[in-house]
Amino acid sequence: MVPNELTAIFREKLRDLAQTQKYARRFTPEQEERVCRAFAMAVENPSISETLLFELLTGDKA
């Protein structure tokens, strides 16, 4: 399965979760996009550190 296909499945799961009470109306589409980009980066670059991934995910310094 290529990274694009994985990211598509991941996005679908994110949206499913966003319907649940815990995550409902908590995140913006921009944040969803950022999370998807971070996921694709993690799949394509196994050597990425968790600190960098955190920064990609949140947009803040770890």
Partner 1 sequence: MKLEKLVVRNVGRYREKHEFDLRGDLILVYGANFSGKSTLARAVYFALTGRVLNTGLKPPALASTNAASGTVGLFYQHQQSRFRIYRSTKGEVQIERADGETWRQCAADAATLPALNFQQWRTGCFLHEDELGEFLVQPPASRRDLLNQLLGVESLLHAQELFIQVRRLAKRREKTATGLQESLRLDGLADRSAELQAARSALAKLEARLQTLQETQPAAGPDERLRQTWEQARAAAQTRLTQSQQQLAAVRAGFTHRDELAELLQQVTQQLTQRETATRQLESCAESRISLTSQLRQVEEMLGMIKGLQGCETCPTCQQPLAPAMIARLVEEYQTRREAVLREREQAAAKEHQARETVRLLDELAGRQIDLEQRWQRWQQLEAGIAAAREELETWETKLAALAPLSPTAESREKLQQERDVHRRQLAELERQHLQYEQRRQEILSANRQAEIVARQRLLSEWAAEAVARTVQSVVGMSLKKADAEIAACLQSFGLFRAQPQKIDLEKSQLMPDLDGRALQTLSGSEKTILYLSMKTALSRLMPGADFLVLDDPTLHLDEIRRERLRDYLAGLLPEKQIILFTNDRGFAEQFGNARRIDLSSW
Q: Which residues of the chain form contacts with partner 1 (CB under 8 A)? A: 1, 3, 6, 9-10, 13-14, 16-18, 22-23, 26-27, 31, 35, 38-39, 42-44, 46, 48, 50-51, 53-54, 57-58, 60, 62
Residue 34 DSSP label: H
CA 57-14-20 angle, to 5 degrees, is: 120
- Residue whose token pair is 């109306």: 25
Least separation in angstroms between CB 4 and partner 1 = 13
Least separation in angstroms between CB 54 and partner 1 = 5
Strands annotated E in 1-62: none
